């Protein structure tokens, strides 16, 4: 059984109304426990709509979304599903609610009525996991964007979440903040086996994933390893996307007559291909 | 002619426990007709700095000259000088507020006293420039647009003011690759065809590498570098101290050089890099 499974999932906003809009159509996806998947697609391709189904924020208009075997439409499972899947959004300022970091991280556990000792323990462990323990008494508005996003991730971890769904978590961050978030996400996936769904417009970030899903005009149009997906530069450009810089450079060099047989998705690949 | 900042300092909440020196004795020049990039990490003072360009913030110390006019004065000349500078803030789509797109874009021109006919003409021009069809969109609500369209509608609102100096704060944040490129190409066209001076605030160094004639690096409220891109990108240490990164292309070129490829290593854009690599490989008889 896959951890997340979408079966013929279709989502229509404002169904039956004048401004009805089809956002996602007939998507079939399976995400395994412990996997790191990235979702790519242009603005409006349906990737955020799809991701909001993973914890039941949106329910399918038709088709199904199953999390750990539970149907998101089944109301009695809503809380179980949301405890297992934590969401992190683009704007860090829209998802931090408390005046002190530890209160923010403790909000979820407190809300589900955990024992105060356990809350404290969860909060400490979560802050440590994102390397923010020394900031536990800080006010969030004194933190950088990358630090705020890590606090948001800690908020999910404090609920013992099994899966993180991150919707463009680095779009508003500077390079340092982006690295902080990417390193944290990738470490949590590797060391703790947290299933990770990572939506991004940055191809270099998607290249870290085990698998990439590509959305185009409401449909899932491709899935595969980063090497498989980034091999077809023409197709990616046609979809309004791109490939990592090293892959683009390899492609340009090939067009100038350089023979490169290996698949290139990062700088190490390219250096190896050229310098040896 | 230029925007010239002379010894600008700015302190947030002076004489309170939260007093914070955001800009520390900054002297820079934004030359007319060029694309100048300002880079720095979050909190380095970029946004505070650009709000001085048209008098939204008044410096605690120092003077700002726009085309030689001190914009801190209270006279009509200073007011006219301030209006030469248009600022597009980060996520400008959050500032859309009117019932229809055409009303939203009209707000600026009407406010500076353009006639109705003149305003309409400017709205049409601005919408055409950002590829929003006037007949189709003018009377729709801006809130029905997609994210990318909203961004373009908001930018049209500034373009309708026809600023001589256009300041853009992270204009492509949150857009997909195609959207980023399309928008940047529009600004490049504006620069080439109308000679608009562009100030690009960004931490995307590849963007800066592709478009800027001149780069200013801010760190902790101070200017640490003001130079053409090739010079800035040769200072790896300073860039990293400022919390920034070299353009990806430059990083790849540095790696190739370190691994024995004999390149001049001046390239920081894709086209030049590809040329340099091919040349180096030819010399080695490998290509």
DSSP B143: G
The residue of B252, B268, B269, B276 whose CB has the most chain A CBs within 10 angstroms, and thus the best one to mutate to test that interface, is B252
Any A CB within 8 A of B252 CB? yes
Q: Which residues of chain A are at the B interface, by a Cβ-Cβ cutoff of 8 Å?
A: 19, 41-44, 90, 144-145, 168, 171-177, 201, 203-204, 237, 240-242, 245-246, 248-249, 252-253, 256-258, 267, 270-271, 274-275
Interface probe for B, chosen from A201, A217, A218 (most Cβ of B below 10 Å), is: A201
Confidence at residue B287, expressed as pLDDT on a 0 to 100 scale: 63
Beta strands across the sheet bearing B20-31? B20-31, B2-12, B61-66, B69-70
Q: For A54-113, what is each residue's pLDDT tens digit?
A: 999 999 999 999 999 999 999 999 989 999 999 999 888 888 889 999 999 999 999 888
Q: How far apart are CA B9 and CA B60, in angstroms?
A: 6
pLDDT tens column, B209-242: 999 999 999 999 999 999 999 999 999 999 999 9
Nearest to residue A38, comparing CAs of A219, A216, A215?
Answer: A215
The CATH number assigned to the domain with range A4-243 reads 3.40.50.300
- Which residues in chain A are contacts of B270 at CB distance < 8 A? 245, 248-249, 252
pLDDT score recorded for residue A97 = 87
Bridge partners for A67 per DSSP: A4, A70
ipTM over 0.95: no
Minimal CA–CA distance to B45: which of B20, B16, B63? B20
Query: Mind telling me how many Å the CA of B246 is from chain A's nearest CA?
Result: 10
pLDDT at site A218:
96
Between CA A145 and CA A134 the distance in angstroms is 16
Nearest to A256 among B41, B176, B278 (CB): B278
Cβ of B175 under 8 Å from any chain A Cβ?
yes
The A219-224 sheet, strands edge to edge:
A85-88, A163-167, A195-199, A36-40, A211-216, A219-224
CA atoms within 13 A on the CB side of B266: 5
Contact B274/A256, CB-based, under 8 Å? yes
For the segment B242-252, the average pLDDT, to the nearest whole number, is 93
Burial per residue of B56-69, b for 16 or more beta-carbon CB atoms within 10 angstroms, e otherwise = ebebeebebbbbeb
Taken in order A110, A112, A117, A119, the sign of the CA dihedral is negative
Of B146, B180, B259, the CB nearest to A271: B259
The residue written with tokens 């370190």 in the block is B258
- The DSSP letter of residue A75 is G
Q: What is the pLDDT along chain A (276 residues), one digit of tens a residue?
A: 899 999 999 999 999 988 899 999 999 999 999 999 999 999 889 999 999 999 999 999 999 999 999 999 999 999 899 999 999 998 888 888 899 999 999 999 998 889 999 999 999 999 999 999 999 999 998 888 899 999 999 999 999 999 999 999 999 889 989 999 999 999 999 999 999 999 999 999 999 999 999 999 999 999 999 999 999 999 999 999 999 999 999 999 999 989 888 889 999 999 999 987
CB contact under 8 A, B245 and A175: yes
* Cβ–Cβ contact B52 with A under 8 A: no
- Nearest-CA distance from B279 to chain A in Å? 11
**Hey, where are the domains in chain B?**
247-287
């Amino acid at each position: 059984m896959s951890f997340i499974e979408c079966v013929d999932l279709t989502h229509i906003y404002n169904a039956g109304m004048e401004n009805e809009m089809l956002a996602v159509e007939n998507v079939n996806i399976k995400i395994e426990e412990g996997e790191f998947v990235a979702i790519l697609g242009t603005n409006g391709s349906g990737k955020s709509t799809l991701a909001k189904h993973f914890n039941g924020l949106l329910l399918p208009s038709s088709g199904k979304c199953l999390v750990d075997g539970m149907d998101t439409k089944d109301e009695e499972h809503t809380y179980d599903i949301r405890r297992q899947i934590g969401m992190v959004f683009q704007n860090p300022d829209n998802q931090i609610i408390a005046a002190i970091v530890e209160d923010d991280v403790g909000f979820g556990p407190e809300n589900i009525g955990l024992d105060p000792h356990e809350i404290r323990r969860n909060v400490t462990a979560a802050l440590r996991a994102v390397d923010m323990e020394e900031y536990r008494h800080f006010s969030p508005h004194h933190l950088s964007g990358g630090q705020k996003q890590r606090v948001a991730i800690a908020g999910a971890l404090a609920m013992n979440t099994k899966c993180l769904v991150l919707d463009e978590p680095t779009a508003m961050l500077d390079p340092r903040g982006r690295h902080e978030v990417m390193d944290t996400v990738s470490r949590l996936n590797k060391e703790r086996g947290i299933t990770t769904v990572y939506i991004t417009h940055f191809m270099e970030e998607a290249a870290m994933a085990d698998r990439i899903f590509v959305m185009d005009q409401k449909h899932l149009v491709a899935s595969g390893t980063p090497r498989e997906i980034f091999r077809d530069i023409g197709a990616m450009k046609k979809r309004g996307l791109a490939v990592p810089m090293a892959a683009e450079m390899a492609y340009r060099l090939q067009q100038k007559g350089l023979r490169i047989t290996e698949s290139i998705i990062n700088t190490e690949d390219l250096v190896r291909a050229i310098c040896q | 002619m230029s925007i010239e900042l002379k010894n600008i300092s700015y302190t947030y909440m002076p004489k309170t426990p939260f007093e914070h020196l955001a800009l520390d004795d900054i002297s820079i020049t934004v030359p007319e007709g060029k694309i100048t990039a300002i880079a720095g990490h979050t909190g380095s003072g970029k946004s505070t700095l650009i709000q001085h360009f048209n008098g939204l913030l008044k410096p605690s110390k120092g003077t700002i000259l726009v085309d030689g006019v001190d914009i801190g004065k209270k006279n009509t000349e200073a007011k006219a000088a301030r209006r030469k500078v248009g600022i597009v803030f980060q996520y400008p789509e959050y500032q859309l507020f009117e019932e229809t797109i055409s009303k939203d874009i009209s707000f600026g021109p009407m406010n500076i006293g353009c006639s109705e006919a003149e305003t309409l003409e400017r709205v049409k021009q601005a919408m055409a420039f950002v590829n929003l069809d006037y007949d189709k969109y003018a009377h729709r609500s801006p809130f029905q647009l997609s994210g990318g369209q909203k961004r373009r509608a908001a930018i049209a609102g500034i373009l309708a003011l026809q600023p001589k100096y256009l300041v853009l704060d992270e204009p492509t944040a949150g857009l997909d690759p195609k959207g980023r490129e399309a928008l940047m190409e529009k600004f490049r066209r504006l620069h080439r065809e109308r000679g608009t001076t562009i100030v690009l605030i960004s931490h995307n160094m590849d963007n800066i590498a592709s478009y800027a004639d001149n780069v200013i690096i801010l760190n902790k409220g101070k200017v640490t570098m003001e130079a053409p891109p090739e010079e800035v990108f040769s200072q790896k240490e300073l860039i990293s101290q400022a919390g920034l990164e070299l353009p990806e292309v430059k990083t790849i070129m540095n790696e190739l050089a370190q691994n024995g490829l004999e390149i001049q290593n001046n390239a920081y854009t894709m086209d030049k890099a590809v040329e340099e690599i091919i040349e180096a490989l030819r010399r080695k008889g490998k290509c």
